[in-house]
Structure 1
Amino acid sequence: MPRPLVRRGTALAMSALLLPVLAACGGADAGKEKEAEKKAEPTAAQSAGELVIYSGRNEKLIAPIIEKLEKAVGTKVQVRYGDSAELAAQILEEGDKTKAGLFFSQDAGALGALSQAKVLAKLPQQSLDKVDAAYRGGEGDWVGVSGRSRVIAYNPQKAPKAPDSVKDLTKPEWKDKVGYAPTNASFQAFVTGMRVLEGEDATLKWLKDLKANGAKPYAKNGAVLDAVNSGEVSLGLINHYYWYEKAAEVGADKLTAKIHFLPGGDPGALVNAAGVGVLKNGGQSEAAEKAVEYLLSNEAQTYFADKTKEYPLAAGVTSSVKDLPALASLDAPKIDLGKLDSLQKTLEMLKEAGMV
């Protein structure tokens, strides 16, 4: 049985590389990834037969698959749960004495930062080859496990047709009618992606215009979806799986809100990835590589598809979620997901725009 580690202290000496990421995410609710996380400081003694995973993914979400992973790897597993950026910073602080063998991040940005710091080991090619190059690190040292698309939720009674670009949300017709979650990590990753795609000036202008157009802030993606569903706002910016989870819970026919996948490579159609990387200095590479292989297996990929309503990223595995567009059919912007690590500038922009 995987054992969560017990954290003994909360103070971290942030590395210069990860401080911007942590600063941006520290006040952010990362949706279903950050609800009541157990955080831990690893114990000093860990046997060579154990795999220690630092997980930025929520315990409630992945505990069932971790139990199966332990059996597949054939060794005991300990998991430290927490914020992805904070855990990545901890890995850098620990350096060559890191307790972690595997880092499981809720988004690509933290993995990109660790890749830049050269603390991740190159993964076996057979694992890399299972996932499209768009969802793995350019250095071959991290790989995506599941994906999620940004979408526009809309209330057909208020907005019969959703706009085809987030840029349209600043138009007068949508004044006081848009909901968003500015302190949410997924929203901040989207803004970071827009910066990479559109440039700093254009992104800052869009943020200011959105604020000036009366966009309404909410704490979480789920709250945004609820506001759209009730008609409190006409449109909302969320991740796709929130709608599909709600539909599975109450029935799609009971939902007024619908979602729109944006065309044309729009910044609002960003597909981000949760992924994993093996730590060079963790001394657990064999078990960690087996864990990566398991997370890309049909069993694990089907779990993420069916239970969390995310996109499976390993080739040959498709989602059984009703009416979910195929990942290959999405017109997501082409972007190096590893570049989503530059969140400090995003936070500065959000502050300048008066959003956080």
Structure 2
Amino acid sequence: MTAKKVLLTGIALTAFAGTAQAADEVNIYSYRQEFLIKPLLEAFTQETGIKANVIFSKKGLLERLEHEGANSPADVILTSDIGPLHDAVERDLVAPIDSDVVDSNVPSHYRSKEDKWVGLTARSRIIYASKDRVEPGEVQTYEDLADPKWKGRICTRSGKHSYNLSLIGSMIEHHGAEEAEQWLSAVKDNLARRPQGNDRAQVKAVKEGQCDLALGNSYYYGKMLTNEKQPEQVEWAKSVNLIFPNQDGRGAHMSISGAALAKHAPHKDAAIKLIEFLTSEQAQRMYAEVNYEFPVRPGIEWSDLLKEHMSDFKADEVNLGDVVKHRAEASRMVDQVGFDN
């Protein structure tokens, strides 16, 4: 974080502290980007009359919560991945979300068993396959990625990235640690290059012939296909088929963006109203349109792009709390097999 960003964040926090006792306000620490959250918060304020104050940051918000302790002005934590939600629970920074509305709106596998967090949007960790060099049906499961036939043909970002740690955690949950490590080692042997870049960079590598298969989150397909500022990304997207793995078994691995109630929330009632709103039909539709993610609430219509390019698929319904608890072990495995080397 630059010095300027630190200064601006400090100013924002001072403003939070000045309004901390207003009953008709809610203070939010958000890892999610402003363009995603701002329209939702404006709709929330219009519906409830509750003003939403928000700080946006890519990192450091949990550390700030720890530092602030019981004096923290934060009411709600919004994250772009399940990892920070798990970390917030481990650091004892959150309180249970006691809401029948949330429990009714969001399936149990997208909620903490102890009500310590709730998913707001879902995405799948899918396989992007070259249209030119991979036949339909040639790869169908995550387990298939360990097949020696793919030696030198797979690209992915770092194994230590939260998205991949989540996938490895799901392999541990479903297969046990020993088998999951054997799988990860075999996938490592099949890599076309050292793990590098982000998810979009892997699809670019497929387009350029550096590899034939790549791991990536599903919503990046929509981001690439509609990228008018960088039209080359449209061509990357058009070069691949999307594979939602394990459709004949447990289903494709899912992860979430989510929300948690801050442990010392000064506006607890307003905070719960906000979380309830974010699981409402209106908010879930807005989420689906803006970032090409899947609503966590059943029955919400997908965006037109998702309906056109991603047919209905079977999602893994293992509780994500049972997956995320393996993050530390997954990280150790990445080191053990030398995945990023």
TM-score w.r.t. length of structure 1: 0.80
1:182-208 alpha-carbon deviations (Å, 9 max, x no partner): 143211221222222222222222222
Deviation at 1:280, TM superposition (A): 3.5
SS for the counterpart of 1:237 is strand
Query: Which range is displaced more, 302-311 or 207-216?
Result: 207-216
1:26-78 alpha-carbon deviations (Å, 9 max, x no partner): xxxxxxxxxxxx79872243332232111121234333333333333423322
Seen in structure 2, the aligned counterparts of structure 1 residues 340 and 206 have a Cα distance that, compared at 3 Å, is same
Aligned residue in 2 for 1:24: none
SS for the counterpart of 1:96 is helix
Does 2:188 correspond to 1:202? no
Aligned residue in 2 for 1:107: 81
1:81 to 37, 56, 71: 56
Checking the alignment, whether the CA contact within 8 Å between 1:52 and 1:77 is kept in structure 2 is yes
Question: For residues 208-247 of structure 1, what are the structure 2 equivalents within 5 Å?
Answer: 208-216=185-193, 217-247=195-225
SS for the counterpart of 1:269 is coil
Residue type of the alignment partner of 1:305: A
Aligned residue in 2 for 1:323: 309
Checking the alignment, whether the CA contact within 8 Å between 1:184 and 1:221 is kept in structure 2 is no
Distance 1:266 1:209 in 2: 21
Checking the alignment, whether the CA contact within 8 Å between 1:52 and 1:99 is kept in structure 2 is yes
Gaps of 5+ in 2: none
Query: Which range is displaced more, 106-115 or 192-201?
Result: 106-115
Distance 1:40 1:204 in 2: 46
Q: CA RMSD in A?
A: 2.9
Seen in structure 2, the aligned counterparts of structure 1 residues 262 and 292 have a Cα distance that, compared at 3 Å, is same
Distance 2:272 2:177 in 1: 38
Checking the alignment, whether the CA contact within 8 Å between 2:207 and 2:236 is kept in structure 1 is no
Distance 2:20 2:70 in 1: 17
Question: For residues 1-356 of structure 1, what are the structure 2 equivalents within 5 Å?
Answer: 7-8=6-7, 42-43=13-14, 44-49=17-22, 50-83=25-58, 86-115=60-89, 117=92, 119-161=94-136, 162-182=138-158, 183-216=160-193, 217-249=195-227, 255-264=238-247, 269-320=252-303, 321=306, 322-326=308-312, 329-332=313-316, 334-337=318-321, 339-356=323-340
Checking the alignment, whether the CA contact within 8 Å between 1:241 and 1:308 is kept in structure 2 is yes
Seen in structure 2, the aligned counterparts of structure 1 residues 191 and 79 have a Cα distance that, compared at 3 Å, is same
SS for the counterpart of 1:138 is coil
SS for the counterpart of 1:205 is helix
Percent identity for Structure 1 against Structure 2: 24
Aligned residue in 2 for 1:27: none
Residue type of the alignment partner of 1:197: H
Seen in structure 2, the aligned counterparts of structure 1 residues 272 and 47 have a Cα distance that, compared at 3 Å, is same
Gaps of 5+ in 1: 10-37
Distance 1:289 1:141 in 2: 12
Distance 2:89 2:248 in 1: 26
Query: Which range is displaced more, 144-153 or 258-267?
Result: 258-267
Seen in structure 2, the aligned counterparts of structure 1 residues 118 and 248 have a Cα distance that, compared at 3 Å, is closer
Deviation at 1:234, TM superposition (A): 0.5
TM-score w.r.t. length of structure 2: 0.83
Residue type of the alignment partner of 1:47: A
Distance 2:131 2:181 in 1: 30
Checking the alignment, whether the CA contact within 8 Å between 1:91 and 1:98 is kept in structure 2 is yes
Distance 2:204 2:98 in 1: 41
SS for the counterpart of 1:351 is helix
Distance 1:155 1:334 in 2: 29
Seen in structure 2, the aligned counterparts of structure 1 residues 296 and 91 have a Cα distance that, compared at 3 Å, is same
Distance 1:202 1:80 in 2: 42
SS for the counterpart of 2:122 is strand
Seen in structure 2, the aligned counterparts of structure 1 residues 342 and 98 have a Cα distance that, compared at 3 Å, is farther
